[in-house]
Structure 1
Protein backbone atom coordinates (compact mmCIF):
# COMPACT_ATOMS: atom_id res chain seq x y z
CA UNK A 1 0.00 0.00 0.00
CA UNK A 2 1.29 3.46 -0.88
CA UNK A 3 2.19 5.90 1.81
CA UNK A 4 2.31 9.64 1.03
CA UNK A 5 5.74 11.13 0.87
CA UNK A 6 6.67 13.64 3.52
CA UNK A 7 8.96 15.35 1.06
CA UNK A 8 12.54 14.85 -0.09
CA UNK A 9 15.36 14.63 2.42
CA UNK A 10 19.11 14.39 2.29
CA UNK A 11 18.89 10.63 2.80
CA UNK A 12 16.26 10.10 0.09
CA UNK A 13 17.76 8.68 -3.10
CA UNK A 14 16.76 10.39 -6.34
CA UNK A 15 13.92 8.71 -8.22
CA UNK A 16 14.77 6.20 -10.93
CA UNK A 17 14.52 7.44 -14.53
CA UNK A 18 10.96 7.62 -15.82
CA UNK A 19 11.69 5.07 -18.54
CA UNK A 20 12.83 2.51 -15.98
CA UNK A 21 9.84 3.18 -13.72
CA UNK A 22 7.47 2.93 -16.68
CA UNK A 23 8.74 -0.55 -17.52
CA UNK A 24 8.36 -1.51 -13.86
CA UNK A 25 4.65 -0.69 -13.97
CA UNK A 26 3.67 -1.60 -17.52
CA UNK A 27 3.53 -5.35 -16.93
CA UNK A 28 0.83 -5.05 -14.28
CA UNK A 29 -1.05 -2.45 -16.31
CA UNK A 30 -0.93 -4.32 -19.62
CA UNK A 31 -4.67 -5.26 -19.58
CA UNK A 32 -5.39 -1.52 -19.88
CA UNK A 33 -3.93 -1.67 -23.42
CA UNK A 34 -7.39 -2.91 -24.44
CA UNK A 35 -8.59 0.69 -24.08
CA UNK A 36 -6.30 2.26 -26.72
CA UNK A 37 -6.86 -0.81 -28.88
CA UNK A 38 -10.62 -0.25 -28.71
CA UNK A 39 -10.37 3.48 -29.45
CA UNK A 40 -8.20 2.71 -32.48
CA UNK A 41 -10.61 0.09 -33.81
CA UNK A 42 -13.60 2.41 -33.29
CA UNK A 43 -12.31 4.40 -36.27
CA UNK A 44 -12.81 1.47 -38.62
CA UNK A 45 -13.15 3.61 -41.75
CA UNK A 46 -9.82 5.34 -41.16
CA UNK A 47 -8.22 2.01 -40.28
CA UNK A 48 -9.26 0.46 -43.60
CA UNK A 49 -8.23 3.59 -45.52
CA UNK A 50 -4.79 3.50 -43.91
CA UNK A 51 -4.31 -0.17 -44.74
CA UNK A 52 -5.20 0.41 -48.39
CA UNK A 53 -2.80 3.34 -48.82
CA UNK A 54 0.91 3.11 -49.48
CA UNK A 55 3.10 5.70 -47.84
CA UNK A 56 4.41 6.90 -44.53
CA UNK A 57 2.78 8.91 -41.77
CA UNK A 58 4.91 10.98 -39.43
CA UNK A 59 3.03 12.21 -36.40
CA UNK A 60 4.26 13.90 -33.24
CA UNK A 61 1.88 13.79 -30.28
CA UNK A 62 2.24 15.80 -27.10
CA UNK A 63 1.17 14.29 -23.74
CA UNK A 64 -2.35 15.63 -23.69
CA UNK A 65 -4.64 12.58 -23.47
CA UNK A 66 -4.99 8.88 -24.28
CA UNK A 67 -2.55 7.48 -26.81
CA UNK A 68 -3.61 4.95 -29.42
CA UNK A 69 -2.78 4.12 -33.04
CA UNK A 70 -3.96 7.57 -34.16
CA UNK A 71 -1.39 9.24 -31.94
CA UNK A 72 1.28 7.73 -34.22
CA UNK A 73 -0.45 7.42 -37.60
CA UNK A 74 -2.61 9.68 -39.74
CA UNK A 75 -4.99 8.13 -42.24
CA UNK A 76 -3.47 9.71 -45.39
CA UNK A 77 -5.48 11.21 -48.22
CA UNK A 78 -3.10 9.83 -50.85
CA UNK A 79 0.24 8.16 -51.50
CA UNK A 80 3.49 9.53 -50.18
CA UNK A 81 4.51 11.06 -46.89
CA UNK A 82 2.10 12.99 -44.70
CA UNK A 83 3.19 15.00 -41.70
CA UNK A 84 0.79 15.83 -38.89
CA UNK A 85 1.56 17.76 -35.74
CA UNK A 86 -0.79 17.68 -32.76
CA UNK A 87 -4.04 19.45 -33.63
CA UNK A 88 -2.75 19.83 -37.19
CA UNK A 89 -5.70 17.91 -38.56
CA UNK A 90 -9.07 18.14 -36.89
CA UNK A 91 -11.92 15.90 -38.01
CA UNK A 92 -15.26 17.66 -38.42
CA UNK A 93 -17.46 17.32 -35.36
CA UNK A 94 -20.49 15.11 -35.95
CA UNK A 95 -23.56 17.09 -36.85
CA UNK A 96 -25.93 15.03 -34.78
CA UNK A 97 -26.05 15.78 -31.05
CA UNK A 98 -26.79 12.13 -30.12
CA UNK A 99 -23.56 11.00 -31.78
CA UNK A 100 -21.58 13.66 -29.95
CA UNK A 101 -23.24 12.69 -26.69
CA UNK A 102 -22.53 8.99 -27.23
CA UNK A 103 -18.88 9.74 -28.00
CA UNK A 104 -18.50 11.88 -24.87
CA UNK A 105 -20.08 9.26 -22.60
CA UNK A 106 -18.18 6.27 -23.99
CA UNK A 107 -14.84 8.06 -24.22
CA UNK A 108 -15.25 9.63 -20.78
CA UNK A 109 -16.11 6.28 -19.19
CA UNK A 110 -13.08 4.65 -20.81
CA UNK A 111 -10.88 7.49 -19.58
CA UNK A 112 -12.23 7.10 -16.06
CA UNK A 113 -11.31 3.43 -15.93
CA UNK A 114 -8.04 3.96 -17.79
CA UNK A 115 -6.55 6.94 -15.95
CA UNK A 116 -8.07 5.91 -12.63
CA UNK A 117 -6.47 2.49 -12.93
CA UNK A 118 -3.07 3.94 -13.90
CA UNK A 119 -3.18 6.29 -10.91
CA UNK A 120 -4.18 3.49 -8.54
CA UNK A 121 -1.48 1.12 -9.77
CA UNK A 122 1.41 3.55 -9.58
CA UNK A 123 0.43 4.60 -6.05
CA UNK A 124 -0.84 1.32 -4.55
CA UNK A 125 0.42 -1.45 -6.85
CA UNK A 126 -3.06 -2.64 -7.80
CA UNK A 127 -6.11 -1.37 -9.67
CA UNK A 128 -9.78 -2.04 -10.34
CA UNK A 129 -11.01 -0.74 -13.71
CA UNK A 130 -14.73 -0.95 -12.87
CA UNK A 131 -14.22 0.77 -9.51
CA UNK A 132 -12.29 3.54 -11.29
CA UNK A 133 -15.16 4.04 -13.75
CA UNK A 134 -17.59 4.38 -10.85
CA UNK A 135 -15.32 6.75 -8.98
CA UNK A 136 -14.22 9.05 -11.80
CA UNK A 137 -16.87 8.45 -14.49
CA UNK A 138 -18.99 11.55 -13.98
CA UNK A 139 -15.96 13.86 -13.78
CA UNK A 140 -14.24 12.33 -16.81
CA UNK A 141 -17.40 12.50 -18.92
CA UNK A 142 -17.85 16.15 -17.97
CA UNK A 143 -14.18 16.84 -18.72
CA UNK A 144 -14.58 15.14 -22.11
CA UNK A 145 -17.60 17.33 -22.88
CA UNK A 146 -15.69 20.47 -21.90
CA UNK A 147 -12.77 19.50 -24.16
CA UNK A 148 -15.12 18.90 -27.10
CA UNK A 149 -16.78 22.28 -26.52
CA UNK A 150 -13.41 24.01 -26.21
CA UNK A 151 -12.16 22.48 -29.47
CA UNK A 152 -15.38 23.49 -31.20
CA UNK A 153 -15.09 27.04 -29.90
CA UNK A 154 -11.47 27.18 -31.03
CA UNK A 155 -11.66 25.59 -34.46
CA UNK A 156 -15.18 26.03 -35.82
CA UNK A 157 -14.69 29.80 -36.38
CA UNK A 158 -11.89 28.82 -38.76
CA UNK A 159 -14.57 27.78 -41.24
CA UNK A 160 -15.25 31.50 -41.56
CA UNK A 161 -11.64 32.69 -41.16
CA UNK A 162 -9.28 29.95 -42.48
CA UNK A 163 -6.16 32.18 -42.30
CA UNK A 164 -6.38 32.00 -38.50
CA UNK A 165 -5.72 28.24 -38.55
CA UNK A 166 -2.03 28.56 -37.62
CA UNK A 167 -2.89 30.90 -34.75
CA UNK A 168 -5.50 28.44 -33.51
CA UNK A 169 -3.00 25.56 -33.59
CA UNK A 170 -0.44 27.58 -31.64
CA UNK A 171 -3.08 28.57 -29.10
CA UNK A 172 -4.14 24.94 -28.71
CA UNK A 173 -0.55 23.85 -28.15
CA UNK A 174 0.04 26.52 -25.50
CA UNK A 175 -3.14 25.57 -23.65
CA UNK A 176 -2.23 21.88 -23.95
CA UNK A 177 1.18 22.50 -22.38
CA UNK A 178 -0.21 24.60 -19.53
CA UNK A 179 -2.91 22.08 -18.63
CA UNK A 180 -1.67 18.66 -19.79
CA UNK A 181 -1.39 17.31 -16.20
CA UNK A 182 -5.11 17.93 -15.56
CA UNK A 183 -6.49 14.46 -16.26
CA UNK A 184 -3.62 12.85 -14.36
CA UNK A 185 -3.98 15.14 -11.34
CA UNK A 186 -7.72 14.48 -11.30
CA UNK A 187 -7.10 10.74 -10.91
CA UNK A 188 -3.91 10.86 -8.82
CA UNK A 189 -5.25 13.31 -6.24
CA UNK A 190 -9.00 12.61 -6.65
CA UNK A 191 -9.82 16.23 -7.41
CA UNK A 192 -12.70 17.93 -9.12
CA UNK A 193 -12.20 19.29 -12.64
CA UNK A 194 -11.68 22.93 -11.66
CA UNK A 195 -9.37 22.02 -8.80
CA UNK A 196 -7.38 19.63 -11.04
CA UNK A 197 -7.01 22.28 -13.74
CA UNK A 198 -5.76 24.87 -11.23
CA UNK A 199 -3.39 22.33 -9.71
CA UNK A 200 -2.12 21.32 -13.17
CA UNK A 201 -1.42 24.93 -14.10
CA UNK A 202 0.40 25.49 -10.80
CA UNK A 203 2.57 22.39 -11.36
CA UNK A 204 3.50 23.53 -14.86
CA UNK A 205 4.30 27.04 -13.64
CA UNK A 206 6.48 25.67 -10.84
CA UNK A 207 8.31 22.85 -12.62
CA UNK A 208 8.27 24.08 -16.25
CA UNK A 209 8.26 20.57 -17.83
CA UNK A 210 8.72 21.90 -21.37
CA UNK A 211 11.61 19.50 -21.97
CA UNK A 212 9.44 16.50 -21.09
CA UNK A 213 6.55 17.89 -23.15
CA UNK A 214 8.74 18.27 -26.23
CA UNK A 215 10.62 15.00 -25.64
CA UNK A 216 7.35 13.06 -25.74
CA UNK A 217 6.53 14.67 -29.09
CA UNK A 218 9.95 13.72 -30.49
CA UNK A 219 9.76 10.12 -29.26
CA UNK A 220 6.21 9.65 -30.56
CA UNK A 221 7.38 10.95 -33.95
CA UNK A 222 10.21 8.38 -33.98
CA UNK A 223 7.82 5.61 -32.99
CA UNK A 224 5.35 6.66 -35.65
CA UNK A 225 7.73 5.62 -38.45
CA UNK A 226 7.73 1.83 -37.88
CA UNK A 227 4.11 1.85 -36.67
CA UNK A 228 2.94 3.69 -39.78
CA UNK A 229 4.92 1.39 -42.09
CA UNK A 230 3.05 -1.53 -40.56
CA UNK A 231 -0.28 0.31 -40.70
CA UNK A 232 0.13 0.96 -44.43
CA UNK A 233 0.93 -2.68 -45.19
CA UNK A 234 -2.64 -3.70 -45.98
CA UNK A 235 -5.76 -4.23 -43.84
CA UNK A 236 -4.04 -6.92 -41.79
CA UNK A 237 -1.08 -4.63 -41.22
CA UNK A 238 -3.38 -1.82 -40.09
CA UNK A 239 -5.01 -4.06 -37.49
CA UNK A 240 -1.59 -5.33 -36.40
CA UNK A 241 -0.42 -1.72 -36.06
CA UNK A 242 -3.39 -0.98 -33.79
CA UNK A 243 -2.40 -3.96 -31.64
CA UNK A 244 1.25 -2.84 -31.50
CA UNK A 245 0.34 0.78 -30.77
CA UNK A 246 -1.95 -0.12 -27.84
CA UNK A 247 0.74 -1.09 -25.28
CA UNK A 248 3.03 1.56 -26.74
CA UNK A 249 0.37 4.20 -26.13
CA UNK A 250 -0.22 2.83 -22.64
CA UNK A 251 3.50 3.24 -21.92
CA UNK A 252 3.36 6.92 -22.90
CA UNK A 253 0.37 7.50 -20.63
CA UNK A 254 2.05 5.69 -17.73
CA UNK A 255 5.25 7.70 -18.24
CA UNK A 256 3.27 10.95 -18.22
CA UNK A 257 1.39 9.91 -15.08
CA UNK A 258 4.72 9.18 -13.38
CA UNK A 259 6.06 12.57 -14.47
CA UNK A 260 3.01 14.35 -13.10
CA UNK A 261 3.24 12.35 -9.87
CA UNK A 262 6.89 13.37 -9.61
CA UNK A 263 5.97 17.00 -10.19
CA UNK A 264 3.36 16.70 -7.47
CA UNK A 265 6.02 15.48 -5.03
CA UNK A 266 4.82 11.91 -5.24
CA UNK A 267 8.01 10.52 -6.70
CA UNK A 268 9.05 9.01 -3.38
CA UNK A 269 5.80 7.12 -2.89
CA UNK A 270 6.63 3.50 -2.22
CA UNK A 271 4.70 1.24 -4.59
CA UNK A 272 4.12 -2.46 -4.38
CA UNK A 273 6.92 -4.41 -5.99
Structure 2
Protein backbone atom coordinates (compact mmCIF):
# COMPACT_ATOMS: atom_id res chain seq x y z
CA UNK A 1 0.00 0.00 0.00
CA UNK A 2 1.46 3.33 -1.08
CA UNK A 3 1.56 6.25 1.41
CA UNK A 4 -0.80 9.14 0.63
CA UNK A 5 0.63 11.58 -1.89
CA UNK A 6 -0.21 15.08 -2.94
CA UNK A 7 -1.18 16.09 -6.46
CA UNK A 8 2.45 16.44 -7.44
CA UNK A 9 3.20 12.81 -6.58
CA UNK A 10 5.00 13.48 -3.29
CA UNK A 11 4.11 12.45 0.25
CA UNK A 12 1.52 14.70 1.85
CA UNK A 13 3.09 16.96 4.50
CA UNK A 14 0.58 15.77 7.12
CA UNK A 15 1.73 12.17 6.76
CA UNK A 16 5.45 12.94 6.67
CA UNK A 17 6.03 12.63 10.46
CA UNK A 18 4.36 9.20 10.49
CA UNK A 19 6.44 8.00 7.54
CA UNK A 20 9.63 9.29 9.16
CA UNK A 21 8.65 7.65 12.45
CA UNK A 22 8.06 4.28 10.80
CA UNK A 23 11.37 4.51 8.94
CA UNK A 24 13.22 5.48 12.11
CA UNK A 25 11.58 2.66 14.07
CA UNK A 26 12.48 0.10 11.40
CA UNK A 27 16.08 1.33 11.30
CA UNK A 28 16.28 1.19 15.10
CA UNK A 29 14.98 -2.40 15.22
CA UNK A 30 17.37 -3.46 12.47
CA UNK A 31 20.29 -1.89 14.32
CA UNK A 32 19.29 -3.71 17.52
CA UNK A 33 19.08 -7.01 15.64
CA UNK A 34 22.50 -6.40 14.09
CA UNK A 35 23.93 -5.55 17.51
CA UNK A 36 22.52 -8.74 19.07
CA UNK A 37 23.86 -10.93 16.27
CA UNK A 38 27.29 -9.26 16.24
CA UNK A 39 27.77 -9.38 20.02
CA UNK A 40 26.51 -12.95 20.24
CA UNK A 41 28.86 -14.16 17.51
CA UNK A 42 31.82 -12.29 18.98
CA UNK A 43 31.04 -13.72 22.42
CA UNK A 44 30.89 -17.22 20.93
CA UNK A 45 34.28 -16.85 19.31
CA UNK A 46 35.78 -15.17 22.37
CA UNK A 47 34.58 -17.55 25.08
CA UNK A 48 34.92 -20.60 22.87
CA UNK A 49 38.51 -19.71 22.06
CA UNK A 50 39.33 -19.16 25.73
CA UNK A 51 37.90 -22.55 26.66
CA UNK A 52 39.64 -24.24 23.73
CA UNK A 53 42.95 -22.62 24.67
CA UNK A 54 42.60 -23.88 28.24
CA UNK A 55 41.93 -27.42 27.02
CA UNK A 56 44.30 -27.71 24.05
CA UNK A 57 46.62 -24.70 23.99
CA UNK A 58 45.22 -23.74 20.57
CA UNK A 59 42.06 -22.06 19.32
CA UNK A 60 40.03 -21.55 16.16
CA UNK A 61 37.93 -18.39 16.52
CA UNK A 62 35.80 -18.98 13.41
CA UNK A 63 35.08 -22.61 14.34
CA UNK A 64 33.99 -21.48 17.80
CA UNK A 65 31.68 -18.87 16.30
CA UNK A 66 30.04 -21.61 14.24
CA UNK A 67 29.87 -23.98 17.17
CA UNK A 68 28.44 -21.70 19.85
CA UNK A 69 27.07 -18.77 17.86
CA UNK A 70 23.42 -19.83 17.83
CA UNK A 71 23.21 -20.28 21.60
CA UNK A 72 25.05 -17.08 22.45
CA UNK A 73 23.13 -14.95 19.94
CA UNK A 74 19.97 -16.28 21.62
CA UNK A 75 21.54 -15.37 24.99
CA UNK A 76 22.16 -11.78 23.91
CA UNK A 77 18.63 -11.55 22.48
CA UNK A 78 17.17 -12.85 25.75
CA UNK A 79 19.07 -10.24 27.75
CA UNK A 80 17.82 -7.47 25.46
CA UNK A 81 14.20 -8.65 25.71
CA UNK A 82 14.32 -8.94 29.50
CA UNK A 83 15.95 -5.53 29.98
CA UNK A 84 13.49 -3.91 27.56
CA UNK A 85 10.57 -5.43 29.45
CA UNK A 86 11.96 -4.15 32.75
CA UNK A 87 12.45 -0.64 31.39
CA UNK A 88 8.91 -0.66 29.97
CA UNK A 89 7.53 -1.85 33.29
CA UNK A 90 9.38 0.82 35.26
CA UNK A 91 8.21 3.60 32.95
CA UNK A 92 4.60 2.67 33.74
CA UNK A 93 5.13 1.63 37.38
CA UNK A 94 8.25 3.35 38.78
CA UNK A 95 7.30 2.39 42.34
CA UNK A 96 8.36 -1.16 41.43
CA UNK A 97 12.00 -0.09 41.07
CA UNK A 98 13.18 -1.73 44.36
CA UNK A 99 11.51 -5.02 43.39
CA UNK A 100 12.97 -4.84 39.88
CA UNK A 101 16.44 -4.04 41.24
CA UNK A 102 16.46 -7.04 43.58
CA UNK A 103 14.95 -9.31 40.91
CA UNK A 104 17.55 -8.35 38.32
CA UNK A 105 20.39 -9.13 40.69
CA UNK A 106 18.81 -12.41 41.81
CA UNK A 107 18.17 -13.62 38.26
CA UNK A 108 21.59 -12.34 37.20
CA UNK A 109 23.24 -14.41 39.91
CA UNK A 110 21.23 -17.55 39.11
CA UNK A 111 22.13 -17.36 35.42
CA UNK A 112 25.60 -15.81 35.47
CA UNK A 113 27.30 -19.08 34.54
CA UNK A 114 25.05 -19.73 31.52
CA UNK A 115 27.25 -18.29 28.72
CA UNK A 116 30.33 -19.98 30.15
CA UNK A 117 28.54 -23.33 30.44
CA UNK A 118 27.59 -23.10 26.77
CA UNK A 119 31.29 -23.48 25.92
CA UNK A 120 32.54 -25.39 28.98
CA UNK A 121 29.83 -28.08 29.00
CA UNK A 122 28.59 -27.92 25.41
CA UNK A 123 25.11 -26.99 26.71
CA UNK A 124 22.52 -25.29 24.54
CA UNK A 125 21.12 -22.07 26.01
CA UNK A 126 18.17 -23.56 27.91
CA UNK A 127 20.33 -26.36 29.32
CA UNK A 128 22.98 -23.80 30.31
CA UNK A 129 20.42 -21.66 32.14
CA UNK A 130 19.04 -24.66 34.03
CA UNK A 131 22.57 -25.89 34.73
CA UNK A 132 23.62 -22.45 36.01
CA UNK A 133 20.59 -22.17 38.29
CA UNK A 134 21.31 -25.63 39.70
CA UNK A 135 24.97 -24.89 40.36
CA UNK A 136 24.42 -21.44 41.88
CA UNK A 137 21.81 -22.76 44.31
CA UNK A 138 23.65 -25.93 45.32
CA UNK A 139 27.34 -25.02 45.32
CA UNK A 140 28.83 -22.55 47.78
CA UNK A 141 31.89 -22.10 45.59
CA UNK A 142 29.64 -20.74 42.81
CA UNK A 143 28.51 -17.99 45.18
CA UNK A 144 32.06 -17.35 46.37
CA UNK A 145 33.31 -17.07 42.79
CA UNK A 146 30.54 -14.60 41.96
CA UNK A 147 31.18 -12.44 45.02
CA UNK A 148 34.94 -12.77 44.75
CA UNK A 149 34.89 -11.11 41.37
CA UNK A 150 31.77 -8.94 41.59
CA UNK A 151 32.81 -7.01 44.71
CA UNK A 152 36.25 -5.83 43.49
CA UNK A 153 34.85 -5.29 39.98
CA UNK A 154 32.18 -2.98 41.38
CA UNK A 155 34.78 -1.05 43.38
CA UNK A 156 36.99 -0.83 40.30
CA UNK A 157 34.14 0.39 38.09
CA UNK A 158 33.45 3.51 40.15
CA UNK A 159 36.72 5.38 39.46
CA UNK A 160 36.81 3.90 35.96
CA UNK A 161 33.39 5.30 35.08
CA UNK A 162 34.51 8.74 36.29
CA UNK A 163 37.53 8.48 34.03
CA UNK A 164 35.46 7.34 31.04
CA UNK A 165 32.97 10.20 31.37
CA UNK A 166 35.50 12.91 32.10
CA UNK A 167 36.30 15.43 29.40
CA UNK A 168 38.43 14.37 26.50
CA UNK A 169 38.80 11.48 24.10
CA UNK A 170 42.07 10.42 25.73
CA UNK A 171 40.27 9.73 29.01
CA UNK A 172 37.76 7.47 27.25
CA UNK A 173 40.57 5.65 25.42
CA UNK A 174 42.46 5.18 28.69
CA UNK A 175 39.33 3.76 30.36
CA UNK A 176 38.81 1.34 27.47
CA UNK A 177 42.45 0.26 27.67
CA UNK A 178 42.01 -0.50 31.37
CA UNK A 179 38.75 -2.39 30.84
CA UNK A 180 40.08 -4.73 28.13
CA UNK A 181 42.52 -6.76 30.29
CA UNK A 182 40.03 -6.84 33.18
CA UNK A 183 37.40 -8.24 30.82
CA UNK A 184 39.82 -10.90 29.60
CA UNK A 185 40.72 -11.91 33.17
CA UNK A 186 37.01 -12.12 34.04
CA UNK A 187 36.26 -14.28 31.00
CA UNK A 188 39.11 -16.70 31.73
CA UNK A 189 38.21 -16.82 35.42
CA UNK A 190 34.53 -17.64 34.83
CA UNK A 191 35.24 -20.18 32.08
CA UNK A 192 37.53 -21.97 34.55
CA UNK A 193 34.88 -21.72 37.29
CA UNK A 194 32.16 -23.07 34.99
CA UNK A 195 34.34 -25.94 33.83
CA UNK A 196 35.37 -26.90 37.38
CA UNK A 197 31.81 -26.70 38.75
CA UNK A 198 30.38 -28.66 35.84
CA UNK A 199 33.02 -31.37 36.14
CA UNK A 200 32.40 -31.58 39.89
CA UNK A 201 28.66 -31.92 39.32
CA UNK A 202 29.26 -34.68 36.75
CA UNK A 203 31.46 -36.59 39.19
CA UNK A 204 28.84 -36.28 41.94
CA UNK A 205 26.15 -37.57 39.58
CA UNK A 206 28.34 -40.47 38.50
CA UNK A 207 28.93 -41.57 42.08
TM-score tier after normalising by the smaller chain length: 0.7 to 0.9
TM-score (norm 1): 0.59
Deviations, residues 12-69 of structure 1 (Å, cap 9, x unaligned) = xxxxxxxxxxxxxxxxxxxxxxxxxxxxxxxxxxxxxxxxxxxxxxxxxxxxxxxxxx
Q: Name the one with the larger helix percent.
A: 2
Q: Which residue of 2 aligns with 1:103?
A: 35
Unpaired stretches in structure 1, ≥5 consecutive residues = 1-93, 267-273
Q: Which residue of 1 aligns with 2:150?
A: 217
Offset, 1:153: 2.2
Number of residues paired by the alignment?
173
Partner Cα distance (2:106, 2:155) in 1: 22
Q: Which residue of 1 aligns with 2:61?
A: 129
Partner Cα distance (2:102, 2:137) in 1: 19
User: Higher RCO, 1 or 2 (CA under 8 Å, sep at least 6)?
Assistant: 1
Partner Cα distance (1:125, 1:215) in 2: 27
Q: Which residue of 2 aligns with 1:184?
A: 116
Unpaired stretches in structure 2, ≥5 consecutive residues = 1-23, 201-207
Q: Tell me which structure has the larger Cα radius of gyration.
A: 2
Q: Which residue of 2 aligns with 1:30?
A: none
Partner Cα distance (1:147, 1:229) in 2: 26
Q: Which residue of 2 aligns with 1:235?
A: 169
The Cα RMSD (Å) is 1.9
- Note closer, same or farther for the CA distance 1:227–1:205 as it changes in structure 2 (3 Å cut): same
Asked if 1 retains the 8 angstrom alpha-carbon contact of 2:163 and 2:171, the reply is: yes
Deviations, residues 80-137 of structure 1 (Å, cap 9, x unaligned) = xxxxxxxxxxxxxx95211211111111111111111111112222211111111111
The one of 79, 85, 99 aligned to 1:153: 85
